[in-house]
């Protein structure tokens, strides 16, 4: 029996060596990318917005900005990696400010849908007693009985409709929604691409979801019977927390991005 998540399956598909370090050897480096850090700060701010709304508290833009900037300061550590040569932490912080303010202007007073849940912490039952972690940024419903699985994206790329129609994460979450909210007439998958201030959506038929669940269960069997964990060197290595200890990169000129305490980390893993 195991608990699986979209990122665990995604890591297995991205690089089996990274999967081994992260999920089998459970090595925790403490290294975070600035993109992931900024994403967490923005998500936490929108979580506060909607959780407060659940208790009828409307935050102003200033309230949210104050929360975001203080939250950033409280959680910032020097090991956060800024991999892009031309970037710095302040640029990312400002990007987060823009995302939140644009979102606020577009959706205020946030009464388009009824809030059902924020940052859910649930599990979908799979076969062989496995479970799939269900962490929905926001679950909402309209008056017609449609449910909405809403996800915020803080990355710099936007997905095509074709990619969204194939997306695994929100579709798996929607299976849990259908199981737990039998009144749901339909479950829509919604992505808020904050860098583009754009909302895109997709839908699945019950047949699509049955097929997807079987695919995920097959993927879990593949993971549990896997014995070889080769590296997979791609541009995503720049955002990998294990890059500084990965044999594809260690000893080469550019091991990590600026901002990381490379020597400290290397000393931990390769003591003299
Ligand atoms: S740096 Fe690249 S190849 Fe090495 S573990 Fe990370 S993702 Fe895999």
Please tell me the predicted confidence (pLDDT) of residue 67: 98
Q: Which atom of ligand 1 is nearest to the CA of 246?
A: 4
Question: Mind spelling out the 3-state secondary structure of 96-118?
Answer: HHHHHHHHHHHHCCCCCCEEEEE
Chain centre distance of CA 30: 17
Please tell me the predicted confidence (pLDDT) of residue 79: 82
Spell out, as residue ranges, where the chain has pLDDT lower than 50. Answer: 253-272
DSSP 139-164: EEE-TTSEEEEEEEE-SS----HHHH
Cα–ligand 1 centroid distance for 240 (angstroms): 6
CB of 118 sitting under 6 A from ligand 1: no
CB of 248 sitting under 6 A from ligand 1: yes
Integer-rounded Cα radius of gyration of the chain: 20
Please tell me the predicted confidence (pLDDT) of residue 253: 46
Please tell me the predicted confidence (pLDDT) of residue 252: 57
What 3-state DSSP class applies to 41?
helix
CB of 12 sitting under 6 A from ligand 1: no
CB of 150 sitting under 6 A from ligand 1: no
Q: What is the pLDDT of residues 183-215, one digit of tens each?
A: 999 999 999 999 999 999 999 999 999 999 999
Dihedral pair phi/psi, residue 105, rounded to 5°? -60, -35
Contact 83, 33 (CB under 8 A): yes
């Amino acid at each position: 029996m195991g608990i699986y998540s979209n990122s665990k399956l995604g890591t297995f598909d991205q690089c089996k060596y990274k999967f081994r370090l992260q999920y089998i050897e459970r090595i925790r480096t403490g290294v975070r990318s600035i993109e992931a850090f900024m994403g967490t700060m923005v998500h936490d701010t929108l979580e506060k917005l909607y959780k407060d709304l659940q208790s009828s508290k409307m935050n102003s833009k200033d309230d949210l900005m104050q929360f975001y900037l203080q939250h950033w300061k409280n959680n910032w550590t020097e090991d956060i990696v800024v991999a892009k040569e031309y970037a710095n932490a302040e640029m990312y912080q400002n990007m987060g400010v823009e995302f939140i303010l644009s979102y606020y202007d577009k959706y205020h007073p946030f009464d388009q849908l009824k809030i059902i849940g924020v940052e859910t912490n649930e599990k979908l039952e799979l076969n062989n007693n496995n479970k799939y972690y269900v962490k929905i940024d926001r679950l909402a419903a309209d008056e017609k009985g449609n449910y909405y699985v809403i996800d915020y994206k803080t990355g710099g790329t936007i997905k095509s409709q074709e990619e969204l129609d194939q997306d695994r994460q929100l579709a798996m979450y929607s299976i849990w929604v259908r199981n737990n909210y039998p009144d749901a007439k339909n479950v829509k998958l919604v992505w808020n691409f904050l860098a583009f201030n754009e909302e895109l959506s997709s839908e699945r038929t019950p047949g699509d979801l049955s097929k997807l669940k079987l695919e995920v269960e097959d993927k879990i069997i593949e993971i549990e019977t896997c014995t070889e964990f080769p590296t997979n060197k791609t541009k995503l290595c720049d955002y990998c927390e294990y890059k500084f200890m990965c044999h594809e990169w260690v000893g080469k000129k550019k091991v990590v991005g600026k901002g990381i305490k490379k020597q400290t980390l290397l000393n931990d893993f390769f003591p003299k």
